[in-house]
């Protein structure tokens, strides 16, 4: 998971959905169909959206 956050923040990878993050896990309760495949190629943006809710 640490690599995923580094990719998301430092390397600005667009498709890095951090499924193991605690906030993401909690927010996914509201979005049961949300997974790495469903948000690809915009996983990073989905992660940031969930963090900012």
9-41 confidence digits (pLDDT tens)? 666 778 888 888 999 999 999 999 999 999 999
Q: What is the pTM of this model?
A: 0.76
Domain hosting residue 32, numbered range = 2-51
HSE value, Cβ hemisphere, 13 Å, CA-based, for 23: 11
6 pLDDT more than 70: no
User: What is the count of structural domains for the chain?
Assistant: 1
pLDDT at residue 53 in the model? 86
Backbone dihedral region for residue 16 (phi beyond 0: left; psi -120 to 50: alpha; all else: beta):
beta
């Amino acid at each position: 998971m640490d690599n995923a956050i580094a990719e998301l923040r430092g390397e600005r990878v667009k498709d890095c959905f951090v499924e193991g993050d605690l906030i993401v896990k909690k927010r996914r309760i509201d979005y049961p169909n949300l997974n790495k495949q469903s948000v690809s190629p915009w996983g990073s943006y989905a992660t940031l959206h969930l963090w900012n809710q």
